[in-house]
Structure formats: C-alpha cells, structure tokens
Amino acid sequence: MCIIMVDNIYKSTGKIINGINTFIDINSLSGENKKFSELYNKIAPFYNISQKIFYKIKFGGENNFRNDFLKYIIVNDNNLVLETSVGTADNFYYMNKKAKYYGVDISIKMLKMAKKHSEKWNVNSELVCCEAENLPLNDNVFDVVYSCGGFNSYNDKKKALLEMIRVAKTGSKIFIIDETGKTIKNIYKNVPGKELYNIEKANMPLNLIPKEMENIKGEIICKGYMYIISFNKV
C-alpha cells in the first residue's frame, strides 16, 4: 500500500465507528437521504453479488461497465481523490493505487463493506459517513472529485454539487456519474425499494453546473444506462 500522509483534511471531528469517520446517525437524516440510507443498510450484504450479475448480463463483466466512465477519471500518483456515494468502494479497485482515496456515503453498512474491500485491495483510503450536502472537509483539498451512482437521489443536488466544488482544488476535474431513466425503467422495477426510484430524478443535471466552471461536458454512456458530466473548477 502507498502511504500518503495528509493533514488538515477535516474541518470538524467525527466519531470513529469500526474505523469509519462518522458524522451522522440514521435518526439525524431526513427525506431521500434517510430513505436511501435505510435501503442500502438493508441490501449491503448482497449488494455486490447482485451488481456483478447485472454487469455480467448487460455488459459482459464489471470491468467493461466501469471502464466506460473510469477511463475519463485520471488519477495521478499522490493525488487526493474524493468519491461521494462511494457505496462499497468498488471503483477503488480499478484506480491508481498510488493515490489516496476518501469515500463518503450515508449508509454505514455499505461503508463497512467498503472498508473490507479497501483493506483487501491494499487501497489507501479513509471512509466517511455523512451527507453529500454537508461534507466535513476543508476547502480546496482534492485533486479529483466525483460522485458515482447516488447524485440523482440526494436531498439537495445543488447543495451537494457546490460542496463537491468547494472541496476541490482550483483547476481540478469534477465528475457526476449516475443512472439514466433507462436504468430506472428497466432495472429498478424489480428491486427492493423500487418505489424510491423515480424516473424524473434521472435527468442529466447540466443546469446545476455553475456557469463559471470550465470545460462543461455531458454524455450518455454504458449503453444508455448511465450519464457522465465533467467540468473543471475555476
């Protein structure tokens, strides 16, 4: 494992629970964040196997699926990288192991799986249980910031996006990756918590990107199942 020592990342102090820096409990959540935290806490034990089956059927394997968006996210040695909605940290497996990763999620049980994965894969990571709308992280810290698979369902997308911008260094690349209406229509109709997935949430949120950002791009990827937005912080 590549050890990168970092100071002054956090702007407040959380409670360490099972090695996870925790800033919330389930009772403090509301709205969509509460609903999805409860859902993913329930499905965390079998989340990975269900995802792998889906990737095998639809894309010929997980590598094919993830490469469709991870090929855009360039991580250099010694970079500090933040992923919001990190889930079980599956993206970390495919990324540069000589960087340091911070993973944020509202589901403590998904983060417990993420911790196991990071240790197994020798990923230098810290995991944080908090809301994406209220990151307990300092300004201008991260070289790369991205959200993968949760942005559609945040309580306040605009606030979450501004938080991603706040913690990113000037000039750094920011990405939003999430599911399109095709995914919700074809996949989530048969999953637990299906009533939480609203096709209207799956619009590519280009309108939320502040106009002063640079190189704003949006694209449909993964055979129409995902979108990716990218831009540079000014």
pLDDT in tens, 134-175: 999 999 999 999 999 999 989 999 999 999 999 999 999 999
Q: Is residue 7 part of a domain?
A: no
The model's pTM is 0.92
Range of the domain at 181: 23-232
- Contact 153/34 with Cβ under 8 angstroms? no
Q: What is the 3-state secondary structure (H, E, C) of 60-79?
A: CCHHHHHHHHHCCCCCCCCC
Distances, alpha carbon 210 to alpha carbons 135, 159, 177, 186, 233, in Å? 19, 12, 17, 32, 10
Give me the pLDDT at residue 8, please. 85
Checking if the pLDDT of 188 tops 80, the result is no
Q: How many structural domains compose the chain? A: 1
Q: Is residue 64 part of a domain?
A: yes
Task: Give residue 220's pLDDT band: very low, low, confident or very high (50, 70, 90).
Answer: very high
Distances, alpha carbon 175 to alpha carbons 83, 147, 193, 219, in Å? 9, 6, 26, 11
Structure tokens at 104: 């944020």
Q: Is residue 1 part of a domain?
A: no
Q: Is residue 13 part of a domain?
A: no
Q: Is residue 84 part of a domain?
A: yes
Q: Is residue 4 part of a domain?
A: no
Checking if the pLDDT of 203 tops 90, the result is no
Q: Is residue 113 part of a domain?
A: yes
Could you give the percent of the chain with pLDDT greater than 90?
Answer: 78
At 220, which CATH number? Answer: 3.40.50.150
Q: Which amino acid is at 218?
A: G
Give me the pLDDT at residue 232, please. 98
- The span from the CA of 73 to the CA of 175, in Å, is 8
Checking if the pLDDT of 37 tops 60, the result is yes
Give the helix, strand, coil percentages of the chain, each rounded to 5. 40, 25, 35
Checking if the pLDDT of 199 tops 90, the result is no
Query: What does the pLDDT average to over 175-180?
Result: 94
Checking if the pLDDT of 1 tops 70, the result is no
Q: Is residue 17 part of a domain?
A: no
